[in-house]
Structure 1
């Protein structure tokens, strides 16, 4: 078995998550967050499209962690982001964390908006 060291050059990886929080790059963040190459920002949930739209043009895809279970994104939220040219993929927050870390290690232009479990 060959093991390779993973380098996260562009942004901090998501280390862990738990009820109401995320640990990102060694620091704890409570509540919903958005993680990208620009850093970690508080995110106001589906009513806060501006925090996400600030990333338009810099991302290939945005993963949206919808909490413990996968859920449909509110239509207005999805429509606003798609009209700005952003690819949006909803998934449960645990899956979004894992997928974000994998694609981040590959150097992809991604971000994740997360609602805690």
Structure 2
């Protein structure tokens, strides 16, 4: 089997997750996390819209990892993000992390806001 190295051009992919944590570029972050090409930071969940809105103009799509199963983020949050031109794609957190990594490797303007899988 041939393995190909995936270039992330200095960005840090999501390289693991487990009950209550994510590992991004080797760093473990407990709880919810916001991951961008610039790095990762703890995120306060749906009530913490500020860091997401601050990405306006930097990203086109925000993948929202909703935990173990897919669910719709609150309408008020979706409306705020839409108002600043950020598309929202909800999916289960594991799928969101994998999708983020693929799109990041393609150089897309992407971010992921991930709720932990408990």
Q: Which deviations, in whole Å up to 9, do the C-alpha atoms of 1:7-44 show, x marking residues without a partner? A: 11152010110000001101100000100022111111
Contact (CA 8 Å) 1:36, 1:111: kept in 2 or not? yes
Q: 1:27 to 1:67 in 2, by over 3 A?
A: same
Q: Superposition RMSD on alpha carbons, in Å?
A: 1.1
Within 2, Cα distance between the matches of 1:86 and 1:10?
23
Aligned to 2:57, the other structure's residue is in SS state coil
**Runs of 4+, deviation exceeding 4 Å:** none
Aligned to 1:46, the other structure's residue is in SS state coil
Contact (CA 8 Å) 1:10, 1:104: kept in 2 or not? no
Within 1, Cα distance between the matches of 2:23 and 2:52?
20
TM-score normalised over the length of structure 1? 0.95
1:107 is matched with 107
Asked if residue 96 in structure 1 is aligned to residue 96 in structure 2, the reply is yes
Q: Structure 2: 5+ residue runs without aligned partners?
A: none
2:64 is matched with 64
Aligned to 2:102, the other structure's residue is in SS state helix
Post-superposition shift, 1:116? 0.3
Q: Structure 1: 5+ residue runs without aligned partners?
A: none
